[in-house]
Amino acid sequence: MRDQPSQTAEGVCLFRAMERQRPVGDRIVDDPYAERFLGAAGRAALSGFRLAGGLGRFAQDHAAGLSTFVVARHRFIDDALGRALDAGVEQVVLLGAGYDSRAYRFADALAGRPIFELDFPSTSRAKRDAVIRHDRILPTTNVCHVPIDFLSERIDERLASAGFKTGAKSFFVWEGVSMYLTRAAVKQTLDTVRAVSGSDSELAMDWWYLLDAPDALGTFHRTSPSLLTWLGEAVTLSMHPEDVGAFLERQGFALVDLADAVELERRYVTDDRHVYPANYCVLARTA
């Protein structure tokens, strides 16, 4: 529901907080601030995970692999953002920021460069409240919370009013969003990102696609996203990895990197976990 903070954003934040309970060498992403953004339900779930210890990790590791994909996706984007900051990107934009903590984890690398966090007003407000509660813990950074109704307001107008520099070299993060939109909405957003970005700007995002395996597991993967409908965040768009390069090219982007479940496991997983197979990550650059 748009008038309530996103429940999937809370779940994603919980996965990052749970990852920090693992041994250092097994952590795919290490987020010391994720726990600070959890609500009451998320904190209770994290406490239960801690109490369960190894049993909790076993249950998580041998589930469908969604939590592993979430943290691997986060690491993929982290790595791309780190490279972009080293290469001199001028500003960062998080589309559908949720409870993302990159503004604080990358505070030193950002070195004062602005990071714009766009989200529905309810989620943006909850995020700002958490920042205020923990302002003595979080590093000082140039973060700008930009509440926006993505269904009725223009991204370029909201960014401009927040101080975004049109035409500057930028890095956009669009994480965990595309699968909840229509094809037309995704194309419109990509058009906007392309229009406001300078040359060699980059976009890191993820996609969901419809697995075509005819067995029971394939059927489970095809039907399980429908459960999110009950949270008011239904999965609506599928984009096969073989098609995404041409799709992005038509929208003015060149595909730089693509990591499916197998590749994400190869890069980031050091234990026996598996990544949910119906999702993948891409990095694209303005063409």
Helix or strand run (H / E) with residue 147: strand 143-147
> pLDDT-derived band of residue 49, with 50, 70 and 90 as boundaries?
confident
For the ranges 11-25, 42-56, 222-236, the maximum mean pLDDT occurs at: 11-25
Structure confidence by residue, pLDDT tens digits, 6-48: 888 999 999 999 999 999 999 999 999 999 999 888 888 898 8
Which range among 39-48, 208-217, 235-244 shows the weakest confidence by mean pLDDT? 208-217
Domains of the chain: 7-286 (3.40.50.150)
> pLDDT-derived band of residue 241, with 50, 70 and 90 as boundaries?
very high
Question: How many Cβ atoms sit within 10 Å of the Cβ of residue 64?
Answer: 15
Pairing of β 170-174 and β 143-147: unpaired
Structure confidence by residue, pLDDT tens digits, 125-174: 999 999 999 999 999 999 999 999 988 999 999 999 999 999 999 999 99
Which residues have CB under 8 Å from 187's CB, separation 6+?
251
pLDDT at res. 217: 62
pLDDT at res. 228: 53
Using CA atoms of 239, 244, 248, 254 in order, give the dihedral in degrees to the nearest 10. 160
pLDDT at res. 226: 59
DSSP string for residues in 18-81: HHTTS-GGG-SS--TTGGGG--HHHHHHHHHHHHHTHHHHHHHHTS-SHHHHHHHHHHHHHHHH
Structure confidence by residue, pLDDT tens digits, 67-93: 999 999 999 999 999 999 999 999 999
Nearest to 190 by CA among 171, 200, 203: 203
pLDDT at res. 31: 97
User: With 60 as the cut, is the pLDDT of residue 60 above it?
Assistant: no
> pLDDT-derived band of residue 235, with 50, 70 and 90 as boundaries?
confident
User: With 70 as the cut, is the pLDDT of residue 222 above it?
Assistant: no
CA 124 to chain centre: 15
pLDDT at res. 218: 64
Helices 40-52, 7-19: inter-axial angle, 10-degree rounding: 30
Structure confidence by residue, pLDDT tens digits, 249-270: 999 999 999 999 999 999 999 9
Q: Give the tokens for residue 187.
A: 């194309």
> pLDDT-derived band of residue 62, with 50, 70 and 90 as boundaries?
very low
Q: Where are the alpha helices (DSSP H) in the chain?
A: 7-19, 40-52, 54-61, 66-86, 102-105, 107-110, 121-133, 155-162, 183-196, 216-223, 241-250, 261-268
